[in-house]
Structure 1
Amino acid sequence: MVRSLLVVLLLAVALPGAVLAAPPDHTPWTALLEAHVRPTGDGASTVVDYDGFARDRLALNRYLDRLSAVTRSDFDRWSADERLAFLINAYNGYTIVLVLSGWPDLKSIKDLGGWLRTPWEKRFFRLLGERRSLDDVEHGLIRGSGRYGEPRIHFAVNCASIGCPALRREAYLGDRLEEQLEDQARRFLGDESRNRVTDDAVAVSPLFKWYREDFTAGWRGADSLGAFLALYADALGPRRVNHMALEAGDLPVRFLTYDWRLNSASPPRER
């Protein structure tokens, strides 16, 4: 027994990278989300208490500093689900930081942009050894890496707007990622303020137009937007959807207007 323990300790000293390679603890992020994210009346979406996040800014910064300290070599040792959960949590955490940079007089995250770049193009944090923007994380590390092929990330990364899918009240975790992404997809598609079935069409969020290529790239066999939505026909509100008509493209898909107002639990205060 003593000999076995000695071997473990020697390996820990000789191979420090193996110890450091574990994903960071996302428990502090869950605690912040539970404290400052509230479900709406129907439970399908959430609003954010940005005043609360501002009060807990030190705890938020400590958590994000842990993410920023992760090296690329350690990150690459993790499973694909652990990497993806890490990136989603980082995106959502730094989105809160971006909003706080303009709070409390911010009406939309788009107001943080300028003439030459959007707010998502601002490089204001470090991740995996480089200075990053939110676009770098979403389009470069998540969508552009070619390693994930996961369209449901669009229901998980949160753009701090009423029109976007809910900010989940818990951190994403590698060992629960499938369950969490599936729940996010069903919650978003079942939210009639963002996606709904009419008499002659399915009206959905512009997310499906902006990222159509992600939803039609063959995930679970879906090679068209109708085919992807048919996978969730039972989640699209209380009306029954003709699954076969939707998949065949016989049921038109229309796009609603995106609501870019801030997803705040309280209105912004004018300074």
Structure 2
Amino acid sequence: MIRRILFALLLNSAVFSLAVQAAGFDHATWDALLKKHVVVLRGGQVTQVDYAGFKKDRGALKQYLSAISGVARPDFDKWSKPEQLAFLLNTYNAWTVELILTAYPDVASIKDLGSLLQSPWKKRFIQLLGYTRSLDDIEHGLIRGSGRYNDPRIHFAANCASIGCPALRSDAYVAEHLDAQLEDATQKFLSDRGRNRLEGDALKVSSIFKWYRDDFEKGWRGANSLGRFLALYRESLGLNTDTDRRLSAGVVAIDFLDYDWRLNAKAESSPGKS
């Protein structure tokens, strides 16, 4: 009798494990939180985060983060590339929100959460795939450093809780729509003239393109230079045919704008406001 019970328990565990592997990971909780607490502005070019609202729903956020921490590396390795990348991007963004909530409302910038010896991105506080990791470990190790994904559009999907960052989407990344979501995020960011614009003969773009220039020059969709990558998004950048041609040829000056590290908080929930 005991043997049959143990066998049944093992069988149920195996079935559950297979179901998790087949389905990837359920991001419904994170999706609902984003829809509730992300304010979409200018057609999605910019979003603001209602951190006060997130704080009220912190229990739900912590449940989602706990589920993330419960994923075993062998199960993760069995997922498809889109499932893995969607999981890692959502993980990065959700833990970034949680990091802000540890100090909110007494935080004006994510940089406030670092120290002279350690940036907030190097803090190891995330239980993920069997290790205690930092945000940098996720972005630069698991995503960029793995050599598995090689998609520069991730830079418009991972949100650093700052005004200068590409917008935090109001929906979770999911495998079946990931390519379209990444493309949408890229186009919307490049369409924002506050962060990417042509001024005279120079194209002035976000410092993201300076910090991660190599990622945009690795041949993705044939782009082996930053100019060629940007030319792929000529319409989003509002470039005419002549400027597009010169950009592809490398004869348009590319300058980098200062980054705005202020917190991307919803105006009425910003620190110091009632």
TM-score (norm: length of structure 2): 0.91
How far residue 12 of structure 1 moved from its aligned partner, in angstroms, is: 6.4
Structure 2 letter corresponding to 1:124: F
Structure 1 letter corresponding to 2:261: W
| Residues 12 and 19, structure 1, Cα contact 8 Å, conserved in 2 | no
| Residues 69 and 127, structure 2, Cα contact 8 Å, conserved in 1 | yes
Task: Give me the identity figure in percent.
Answer: 56
| Residues 38 and 46, structure 1, Cα contact 8 Å, conserved in 2 | yes
1:64-213 matches, within 5 Å, as 64-213=65-214
Paired residue total: 260
2:254 is matched with: 253
Structure 1 letter corresponding to 2:18: A
- Distance in 1, matches of 2:14 and 2:28, equals 29
- Distance in 2, matches of 1:111 and 1:240, equals 41
Q: RMSD of the TM alignment (CA)?
A: 1.6
Structure 1 letter corresponding to 2:146: S
1:269 is matched with: 272
How far residue 19 of structure 1 moved from its aligned partner, in angstroms, is: 2.5
- Distance in 1, matches of 2:246 and 2:11, equals 59
For structure 1, the residue ranges without an aligned partner over 5 or more in a row are 1-9
Runs of 4+ in 1 over 3 A off after TM superposition: 10-17
How far residue 53 of structure 1 moved from its aligned partner, in angstroms, is: 0.3
- Distance in 2, matches of 1:122 and 1:28, equals 25
For structure 2, the residue ranges without an aligned partner over 5 or more in a row are 1-9
- Distance in 1, matches of 2:42 and 2:178, equals 25
Structure 2 letter corresponding to 1:118: S
1:20 is matched with: 20
| Residues 110 and 161, structure 2, Cα contact 8 Å, conserved in 1 | yes
How far residue 13 of structure 1 moved from its aligned partner, in angstroms, is: 6.4
- Distance in 2, matches of 1:158 and 1:253, equals 24
1:14-53 matches, within 5 Å, as 17-21=17-21, 22-41=23-42, 43-53=44-54
CA offsets 1:34-91 (integer angstroms, 9 cap, x no match):
1000012453110000000000000101111111111000000010010000000000
- Distance in 2, matches of 1:96 and 1:140, equals 20
2:240 is matched with: 240
- Distance in 1, matches of 2:158 and 2:16, equals 32
1:6 is matched with: none
How far residue 261 of structure 1 moved from its aligned partner, in angstroms, is: 0.3
| Residues 25 and 83, structure 2, Cα contact 8 Å, conserved in 1 | no
Structure 2 letter corresponding to 1:136: D
- Distance in 2, matches of 1:49 and 1:155, equals 20
Q: Report the structure, 1 or 2, having the larger helix content.
A: 2
| Residues 48 and 263, structure 1, Cα contact 8 Å, conserved in 2 | yes
| Residues 44 and 167, structure 2, Cα contact 8 Å, conserved in 1 | no
Structure 1 letter corresponding to 2:20: L
